[in-house]
Amino acid sequence: MRVALIQSRVVGDCPAENLESLKAALKRQETEGVELAVFPALALSGRLGPTALARPGLEVQYQKVWGDFLEISKTYPKLTLASSALFFEAGGAAREEAFAVRDGRRLDKAAVSGRLFSDFGLELLLRTKDLALAAETRADVIISLGSHFYQGVAYQPPFPGPAQAWRMNVSAVGGEGPRIYEGATWVFDPAGRLVGWAHGFENAMIVLDTESTALKALEPRPEREPLEVLYQALKTGLRDFVRSAGLEKVLLGLSGGLDSALTAVLAVDALGADQVLAVAMPSEYNSPDSLNLARELSKNLGLAFLTIPIDGLREAFTRSFLLTPKRDEQAGHLAEENIQARIRGVILMYLANREGRLLLATGNKSEAAMGYATLYGDTCGAMAPIGDVYKSRLFELARHLNRAKERIPEGIISRPPSAELRPGQKDEDALPPYAVLDDILHRHLEGRRSGSQVAREGGHPATTVAWVLSSLKKSAFKRAQEPFSLIASGCPLGGFDWPA
């Protein structure tokens, strides 16, 4: 049996686009003599959220999509096509079910572990989940449609050992909202040898013949530098989200700090420098270095760069508020600081609307966890590419990106982080050092450790741990109003907050 495993992006609730992608893949395999073509799960519909699944007319829409797919299959009468699709119960409820189709008709039937069909003198089992339960079957070929989204660790095939059956996994790749599918497409022969695998974060097609005696065992997918995998994931998620929004161009505020610098590099690498606008909005509290570093970064990246000073706007706001009584001196200072962030948010949203650009928020996970951000200010944006990455990790990522040449000026990486909303302000005036803060958060969130366990195992003062975890809880209302972040860890803050 000559089989093609097609690793490709599947767009949620975009059947026309998915059908075109499917047809293009079928065109590519015509010269390969393929007898079975396997696509990722839900290759026609993509994954649908609860709102889309409840949409009136969904069943009629996807019955037509299914009919269109069957017609496509008739143009390849000798080729079996496999994936999974939405099928509907009598009451209208949708379910995902694997299928095998040739020349307009289904070949598969229900089995304990999935859908079974006979072809090419073989028994083949299709599953919509991983292969963990597949040992109960006596199929000659077990095909899993298990897509794996990135959660901070690069995926590696499981190496299940000999099982007297071919085992194959076909995965989607690309961004879908906050999730980034890495691609986990691989083949093990009956002896348990890895004989095929696809690179992550890119469309790919594995073609092999199960009867060939020339197949050789491959080395496992090479261990990749974790920082490079993280960067590829974020770049993929950003690119595909912008495309899904029907836009090509983005903009962001460029402060001269690390977070906005990394977001700018991501945007350039994902979309191209000609699609990115960087905007500096200095006030009297910004050091000259900040503007100079922002300008140097823009020159390094080839960005369009715009400078809009905000002191005049800030003074106008301040004069307007002079008539209101200050009930709390410290709160008054904070309110005046936040005015600056909100002025910048208004400017950026105006430019996004005027120029048809998508605004990128530049916040990181450490700040979001602590609520160290201004609602309707620096949290403005359609999405936050680095919002699930701790600040300490971002320093490492910046140095990783500079390993060949200096893209991010060293002055940005080495200067103490600061929001620059008042004279001499530093992040560590309000937060523990990022190395301490991030260790506490990582142990608690990704490590699922209690406060006392974090203090004991990490060697942190109990009072510091208690303050961090209290701030994490109190600031959940802010995160509920912030743009979503690309998932880059095993515990994104949105998922942490949902139960509350």
Q: pLDDT tens digit string along 398-443?
A: 999 999 999 999 999 999 888 777 777 888 888 999 999 999 999 9
Give the three-class secondary structure for 29.
Answer: helix
In this model, does residue 383 exceed pLDDT 60? yes
Which residue would you say has higher pLDDT here, 264 or 111? 264
Q: What is the pTM of this model?
A: 0.91
> What does the pLDDT read at residue 421?
74
- Residue closest to 185 by CA, chosen among 177, 173, 175: 173
Report pLDDT for 411.
96
Superfamily of domain 227-497: HUPs (3.40.50.620)
pLDDT exceeds cutoff 60 at 496: no
Give the residue with greater pLDDT, 199 vs 154: 199
Predicted pLDDT of residue 363? 96
Q: What is residue 134's predicted lDDT score, i.e. its pLDDT?
A: 47
What is the rounded average pLDDT of the residues 274-296?
95
pLDDT one-digit tens code per residue, 342-364: 999 999 999 999 999 999 999 99
Mean pLDDT of 234-240: 97
Q: Which residues of 216-242 are buried (b: 16+ CB within 10 A; e: fewer)?
A: eeeeebeeeeebebbbbbbbbbbbbbb
The mean per-residue pLDDT over the stretch 479-487 comes to: 94
Q: How confident is the model at residue 384 (pLDDT cuts 50, 70, 90)?
A: very high
Q: Give the pLDDT score at 218.
A: 84
Least-confidence region, from 37-46, 191-200, 452-461:
191-200
CATH class for the domain made up of 2-224: alpha beta
**Chain position carrying tokens 């105006």:** 350
Could you tell me which residue, 499 or 239, shows the higher pLDDT? Answer: 239
Residue 24 CB burial class (10 angstroms; 0-12, 13-18, ≥19): exposed
In the predicted model, what is the mean pLDDT of residues 378-388? 97
Percent of the chain with pLDDT over 70: 94
Q: What 3-state DSSP class applies to 3?
A: strand
DSSP state of 343: H
CA distances from residue 319 to 137, 246, 311, 374 in whole angstroms, order as listed: 76, 41, 12, 21
Task: Please enumerate in sequence order all residues whose Cβ is within 8 A of that of 241, keeping only pairs 6 or more positions apart, or say none.
Answer: 175, 177, 382, 383, 486
Q: Enter the tokens of residue 294.
A: 């922002």
The per-residue pLDDT for range 110-162, each reduced to its tens digit, is 887 789 999 989 999 998 865 454 455 678 999 999 777 888 887 777 666 66
- Amino acid of residue 41: A
Residue-averaged pLDDT of the chain = 90
Q: Which residue has the higher pLDDT, 229 or 135?
A: 229
Yes or no: say if 9 and 174 are a contact pair by the CB < 8 Å rule.
yes
pLDDT at 226 over 50: yes
Least confident residue range of 77-86, 221-230, 307-316: 221-230
Q: How confident is the model at residue 495 (pLDDT cuts 50, 70, 90)?
A: low
Buried/exposed code over 50-63 (b: 16+ C-beta within 10 A; e: otherwise): eeeeeeeebbeebe
Give the separation between CA 310 and CA 343, rounded to whole angstroms.
7
Report the run of H or E that residue 239 belongs to, with start and end: helix 226-244
Q: Rounded to an integer, what distance in angstroms lies between the CA atom of residue 330 and that of residue 314?
A: 18
Highest mean pLDDT pick, 16-20, 161-165, 261-265: 261-265
Per-residue pLDDT tens digits for 295-346? 999 999 999 999 999 999 998 988 887 656 555 555 557 888 889 999 999 9
Residue 229's nearest CA partner among 200, 271, 267 is 200
Fold matches, 2-224 and 227-497: no
**Percentage of residues in the chain having pLDDT higher than 90:** 70
**Which residue did the predictor score with more confidence, 177 or 386?**
386
Q: With b meaning 16 or more CB within 10 Å and e meaning fewer, what string describes 131-167? A: beebeebebbbbbbbbbbbbbbebbebeeeeebebbb
Residue with the bigger pLDDT between 381 and 137: it is 381
Torsion (CA) 113, 117, 119, 123 in degrees, nearest 10: 30
| Three-state DSSP string of 306-341 | EECCCHHHHHHHHHHHCCCCCCCHHHHHHHHHHHHH
DSSP 133: G
